[in-house]
């Protein structure tokens, strides 16, 4: 029987592939105003999709700025998550650990090429050399110098090799300062070391961005949808600056998780903690301003988006915002609970 299955497999695939190709040109249903019982998803758990920014429905885009880091990324649907406040069906996906709710109406089905043939790469426009040449002349770094600020990107393959570690993904999209020009890797791609990861990883310069250069999908981890929504539909551009606060709307599913109490102006005796207790698991967020005070240190940016366990309820800061210490940074910083989310 195993031998028969081996013989029949190519014949079966030959019939199945055209059907798959037809399915991928369809779009998920775009209707909102639905209920849990009537929700139409058009996709099922396990479907391959590309994440894209939500369009407005009734003035609400159900969006959190922290979701920006996942835009353009391929992901698999892990569950059908019901409808949001506007009745738009939403799903959970694997790539963000199921943290956020993604409207199916804005998903692309499958993945495809990231840019039109011949379109210049954004990094090249910014003056970052794209060449890799093993055994060639000394690496050229162009505008990348020690002390320069860059945005880290996922490595694109060169001769089939990415020179990539899974642990590096946590830093993709973050602003970093160059601390060392690190020579070239085995594919002859010039690289650097940066401050945000403590100089641990080698980052190819060809996949960096310089300040002021728009993001562009690049590589297998950053494909845009083959049948996806092609524009922002009038939504104002959102710029994430790591180490600085981020703000944005937060609807029923806006953060993908419940938020702790938001009140400031409290005292150590009147502090509202909600469900935040010793040992609680939280997801760390950048502090938002309260009376123009963020109570923020740039070094905290390396921990934004990470899961952490509360090890101390400190009290309140100068603006009366309840603060805690967590294990992720070994208790080094104080974190406002109002900017956390609960998994």
Asked if residue 290 is part of any domain, the answer here is yes
Looking at the fold, whether 232 and 269 belong to one and the same domain comes out as no
Looking at the fold, whether 130 and 203 belong to one and the same domain comes out as yes
CA angle 114, 120, 123 (to 5 degrees): 90
Total number of domains constituting the chain = 3
212 vs 332: CA distance, rounded Å: 32
Looking at the fold, whether 28 and 107 belong to one and the same domain comes out as yes
Q: What is residue 193's predicted lDDT score, i.e. its pLDDT?
A: 94
Domain final residue pick, 149, 176, 207? 207
Asked if residue 249 is part of any domain, the answer here is yes
Helix, strand and coil percent figures for the chain, each rounded to 5: 15, 20, 65
Looking at the fold, whether 60 and 195 belong to one and the same domain comes out as no
Looking at the fold, whether 127 and 196 belong to one and the same domain comes out as yes
Looking at the fold, whether 162 and 183 belong to one and the same domain comes out as yes
Could you tell me the residue range of the domain that residue 323 belongs to? 257-343
Asked if residue 117 is part of any domain, the answer here is no
227 vs 63: CA distance, rounded Å: 21
Residue 30's CB is within 10 A of a number of other CB atoms, namely 16
Instruction: Quote the pTM value.
Output: 0.35
Asked if residue 3 is part of any domain, the answer here is no
pLDDT string in tens for the chain (343-residue length): 444 333 334 433 334 433 333 333 357 888 999 998 899 999 988 888 888 888 888 778 888 877 877 777 788 888 898 999 889 999 998 888 788 889 999 888 876 433 333 334 444 445 788 888 877 778 889 889 999 888 888 888 777 788 888 788 777 778 888 999 999 998 899 999 998 888 899 999 988 887 755 444 433 333 343 344 443 333 333 332 223 233 333 322 233 345 688 888 888 888 889 889 998 988 888 888 888 888 998 888 888 878 899 999 999 999 899 999 999 899 999 999 988 887 7
């Amino acid at each position: 029987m195993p031998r028969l299955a081996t013989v029949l497999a190519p014949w079966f695939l030959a019939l199945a592939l055209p059907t798959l190709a037809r399915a991928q040109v369809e779009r998920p249903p775009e209707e909102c105003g639905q209920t849990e019982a009537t929700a139409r998803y058009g996709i099922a758990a396990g479907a391959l999709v590309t994440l894209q920014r939500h369009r407005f429905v009734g003035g609400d885009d159900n969006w959190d700025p922290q979701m920006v880091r996942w835009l353009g990324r391929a992901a698999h649907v892990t569950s059908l998550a019901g409808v949001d406040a506007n009745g738009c069906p939403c799903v959970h996906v694997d790539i963000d650990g199921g943290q956020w709710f993604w409207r199916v109406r804005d998903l692309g089905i499958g993945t495809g090429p990231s840019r039109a043939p011949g379109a210049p790469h954004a990094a090249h426009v910014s003056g970052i050399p794209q060449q890799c040449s093993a055994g060639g002349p000394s690496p050229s770094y162009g505008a990348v110098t020690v002390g320069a600020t860059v945005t880290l990107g996922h490595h694109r393959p060169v001769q089939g090799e990415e020179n990539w570690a899974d642990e590096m993904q946590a830093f993709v999209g973050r602003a970093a300062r160059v601390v060392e020009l690190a020579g070239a890797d085995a594919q002859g791609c010039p690289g650097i070391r940066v401050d945000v990861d403590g100089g641990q990883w080698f980052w190819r310069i060809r996949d960096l961005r310089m300040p002021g250069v728009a993001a562009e999908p690049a590589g297998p981890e950053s494909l845009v949808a083959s049948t996806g929504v092609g524009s922002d539909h009038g939504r104002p551009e959102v710029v994430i600056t790591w180490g600085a606060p981020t703000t944005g709307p937060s609807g029923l599913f806006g953060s993908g998780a419940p938020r702790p109490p938001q009140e400031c102006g409290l005292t150590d005796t009147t502090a509202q903690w909600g469900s935040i207790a010793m040992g609680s698991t939280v997801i760390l967020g950048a502090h938002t301003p309260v009376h123009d005070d963020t109570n923020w240190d740039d070094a905290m940016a390396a921990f934004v988006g990470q899961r952490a366990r509360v090890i101390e309820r400190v009290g309140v800061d100068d603006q009366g915002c309840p603060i805690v210490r967590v294990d992720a940074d070994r208790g080094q910083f104080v974190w406002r609970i109002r900017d956390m989310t609960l998994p």
